[in-house]
Chain A
């Protein structure tokens, strides 16, 4: 009889963080295919990229089949090149094993198949745009097969639709490899490069990786807490004159407004810096609900307390040998407790 593998909540959390970062890296890499002019070895100034922007649907797509109103769509990545040509891309490093859940991402892609408004162009529209699905190589063939199977019946995308696979590969230099598996991009140059696949070395993107740590998808909780702890809480605790003398197990209080956490993460660790400054279309990344959830966890782990509802939080800063390991352990313990409680409930 085949035994179930021993649960490893810490390992699972680490895998989730890895998948999240792979998606960020894939978005950065795909963006680079358009943004960097290899012949000039410089950034193409006529290429605009944006991430998590709100684009408004046309009148005919403002209502879903079930009557629900659609105010906006937020693709993972948008690119405008040659003035009025566009790309909207959605990245998925992991697809669930159960194919029953696969229809939803394709429905999301269908919502991009529209004359959307809010592109970073003068008119707010582009002449035409492609829709791209970026997926991890390990599931790509299955996904292409799945799409081919349902494309004529339930999912219909009129605009050019392309599935690009990516994977991380080893070597003397670490690479992300991109290859087209379905459809053709309207941009001939990039289309040809992706026919046989293109290796993009990770060292090329160090500057991006270090400042783009979040995209338009909720990150795993311990990772988000680590970002808040190291990049927001730490910056504020530095103002305390006791900071240089803080010993292990001693605590320093830091009071933060939730909006400040949002603003600091958004300006420092998202695609924000690459966006043209268009009021009202700035991405809501990270979303407030993610930050509230992460702060709720800090309160649960007795590392913080809410003040005045959930707009202000008092965090007890401590020196940890590994901030990420500490919060992974906290989250994993919570998962294990839940599993034990469930087991007890079944036994009783």
Chain B
């Protein structure tokens, strides 16, 4: 019997949350598989979101629907062969958080890259992936290592961005991909010393029976060839919690829905005096101008920064201010959706610098004066 039979049988089984995760872990023992897990938030139930969309009926069908787990079949056009193909994916409904889900597929890289990920990303108005800061990425890996008493985590592939000084002595951000085979601590220390941050990491666990690799991206997408239960426990579930926390923190910031049209600003504290030199202002403004599908109006650029930004994806708009050397103030205007706030912050973290996100309080700034 071929491996496809195991998988078909697996798809034919009625799963609950536990049996799905355990089942995938068991399949790994029988077959050489790759699982992809994409945790995300949605404004409404995933089932309603998809099944209410007529245009999707030819592409997507609900195969099974059991307590908290749904199995879908998704059709797509193969780019190389131009054939019509299909694959399956599960939707795992988080038991505690409403409208927080994880899409899981064991169909392999082709289905993930050509069908599932584009399908979810194209629904960006309704589906919110997350963003994992460098600091949280390290914490997830440290927790994973200590929880399962793993002696060593070896970074096998890393995509990072480094802030380096070029020949003209100008600081620029360079993307870099490497295969360092470094220990976790060593790799993070190297990136820190080179003024950079990781965008995705692939690693292996040296005392695992197999040498299967696990990878984790800044969007919270996980790929693994083994240890599925542990990976689910240590990465998927904490990332779901992070999405939920972000939704709560970034939610209800549209002025239109606030009493007396009040503003609810956010702060990104870069932790260092990034804006001590006025030349930095131009770099920052240029970074914001690179935000896809947006308008950036510069109301003031030097010595302080005041930008007015529109996100054309959903019509959210923001005022951005840099009024001190280390902080950026983001003020959502009439419409400021969670998706848009996250998109803006992700872009800043990814293309400029990471920082700690805080809530604004007038009293705090008055006390500083």
Determine if B295 and A200 form an interchain contact, defined as CB atoms under 8 angstroms apart.
no
Known: A230-B297, A235-B256. 10 other contacts (CB 8 A): A174-B303, A201-B323, A201-B369, A203-B323, A207-B262, A210-B319, A238-B314, A268-B261, A273-B262, A322-B295
Supposing A41-B367, A174-B323, A322-B297 touch, asked if A210 and B304 sit within 8 A by C-beta, the answer is: no
Q: Which residues of B contact A (CB under 8 A)?
A: 125, 255-256, 260-263, 265, 273, 276, 289, 293-300, 303-304, 306, 308, 310, 312-315, 317, 319, 321, 323-325, 327, 329, 331, 333-335, 360, 362-363, 365-369
Contact of A244 among B294, B300, B313, B333 (CB under 8 A): B313
B296 close to A38 (CB less than 8 A): no
Give the chain B neighbours of A23 by CB distance below 8 A: none
Instruction: Specify the chain B residue showing the minimal Cβ separation from A327.
Output: B297
Nearest CB on B from A324, distance (A): 3
Given the interface contacts A41-B363, A174-B323, does A207 sit within 8 Å of B297 by beta carbon? no
A158 to chain B, nearest CB (A): 35
Q: Is A345 an interface residue (CB 8 A)?
A: no
Tally of chain A residues near chain B (CB < 8 A): 43
Q: What's the Cα separation between A180 and B265 when bound, in Å?
A: 32
Q: How far is the CA of A116 from the CA of B303 in the complex (A)?
A: 41
Cross-interface CB contact of A230 among B261, B310, B329, cutoff 8 Å: B310
Minimum distance in angstroms from A168 CB to a CB of chain B: 8
Alpha-carbon distance between A322 and B314 when the two chains are bound, in angstroms:
17
Q: B256, B262, B263, B335 — which one has the most chain A CB atoms within 10 A of its CB?
A: B263
Q: Which residue of B lies closest to A201 (CB)?
A: B369
The CA-CA distance from A122 to B321 in the complex, in Å, is 39
| Chain A residue nearest to B326 in the complex (CB) | A172
Some 25 contacts from A to B, beta carbons below 8 A apart, are A41-B366, A170-B303, A172-B276, A172-B325, A173-B324, A173-B368, A174-B324, A201-B323, A201-B368, A202-B304, A203-B323, A203-B365, A204-B365, A204-B366, A206-B329, A207-B263, A207-B265, A207-B360, A210-B319, A211-B262, A230-B310, A234-B315, A273-B262, A321-B289, A323-B295
Selected contact of B273 from candidates A172, A268, A325, CB within 8 Å:
A172
Complex contact B331–A21 (CB within 8 A): no
Chain A residue at minimum C-beta to C-beta distance from B297: A324
Q: Are the CB atoms of B369 and A204 closer together than 8 Å?
A: yes
Q: How far is the CB of A82 from chain B (nearest CB, A)?
A: 21
Contacting residues, chain A, for B314 (C-beta < 8 A): 238, 244
Interface centre among A36, A206, A246 (most CB of B within 10 A): A206
B154 CB to nearest A CB, Å: 42
Nearest-neighbor residue (CB-CB) of A267 within chain B: B261
Cα distance, A17 to B298, chains bound together (Å): 11
Across the interface, A243 reaches (CB within 8 A) one of B265, B315, B363, namely: B315
Which of chain B's residues have a CB closer than 8 A to the CB of A138?
none
A268 touches B263 (CB 8 A): no
Q: Give the residues in chain A near B303, CB-CB below 8 Å.
A: 170, 174
**Of A18, A273, A319, which one neighbours B260 at CB under 8 angstroms?**
A273
Q: How far is the CA of A226 from the CA of B367 in the complex (A)?
A: 34
Q: Any chain B CB within 8 A of the CB of A231?
A: yes
Contact partner of B315 (CB less than 8 A), chosen from A237, A321, A322, A325, is A237
For B296, list chain A residues within 8 Å (CB). Answer: 321-322
Does B366 lie within 8 Å of A36, measured CB to CB?
yes
> A45 an interface residue at 8 Å Cβ cutoff?
no
CB distance from B348 to the nearest CB of A (A): 17
Contacts of A238 in B (CB 8 A): 314-315, 335
Chain A residues with CB under 8 A of B263: 207, 210-211
Q: Closest B-chain residue to A36, C-beta based?
A: B366
Residues of A within 8 A of B312 (CB): 246, 319
Interface centre among A174, A246, A320 (most CB of B within 10 A): A174
A291 and B253 alpha carbons, distance in the complex (Å): 28
Question: Which A residues are CB-close (under 8 A) to B327?
Answer: 203
- With contacts A18-B300, A174-B323, A202-B323 taken as known, whether A324 is within 8 angstroms of B308 at the C-beta atoms is yes
List which A132-186 residues lie within 8 A (CB) of chain B: 168, 170, 172-174
Question: Which residue among A226, A234, A237, A319 has the maximum number of chain B CB atoms within 10 Å of its CB?
Answer: A234
With the chains together, A224 CA to B156 CA distance in Å? 54
Knowing A238-B315, A273-B260, say if A206 contacts B331 (CB, 8 Å).
Answer: yes
Cβ-defined contact, B334 with A206, below 8 A: no
- Give CA–CA (A36, B260) in the complex, Å: 20
Complex partner residue of B261 from A170, A203, A211, CB under 8 angstroms: A211
Residue of B nearest to A222 (CB): B297
Q: Is the CB of A320 within 8 A of B300?
A: no
